[in-house]
Amino acid sequence: MAKHNELGKLGEDIAAKYLIEKGFKIQDRNWIYQKKELDIVALKGDYLVVVEVKSRSTEYFEHPSDAITLSKIKFLVRATQAYIDLKEIKQEVRFDVIAVIKNGEKFKIEHIEDAFIAPVD
């Protein structure tokens, strides 16, 4: 496995553990839709929370959350709608971003709740 893939997997594991500690109930991880995936789908209160995880070995070039483009957001919204339809979800949806940044031997976690609103096409 390539180093960036290893960091991505580790970042998702760290993010999932963080969410569980914060009271989220993980429903799915790495849910595939059209050859892409929803990283983490969880329940928290009255919300279905779709979490995009971005992991980086440094913040030097770009903060991980800056890597979420409009096309990525549109994909996340389409994939989430497919998930809702398939699972017959009734909760409101919220999109969060978790940035996992390696800081020496430790990791810094930044959780951005309600990171974006689904665009209207």
Q: pLDDT tens digit string along 48-62? A: 999 999 988 765 566
**Per-residue pLDDT averaged across 8-33, rounded?**
96
pLDDT band for 35, please (50, 70, 90 cuts).
confident
Percent of the chain residues past pLDDT 70, beyond the cut: 87
Give per-residue burial for 17-44: e unless 16+ CB within 10 Å, then b: ebbeeeebeebebebebeeebbbbbbeb
pTM: 0.89
- The domains of the chain, with CATH numbers, are 3-112 (3.40.1350.10)
Contacts of 58 (CB under 8 A, 6+ apart): 101, 102
**What is the model's pLDDT at position 29?**
98
**Per-residue pLDDT averaged across 55-72, rounded?**
73
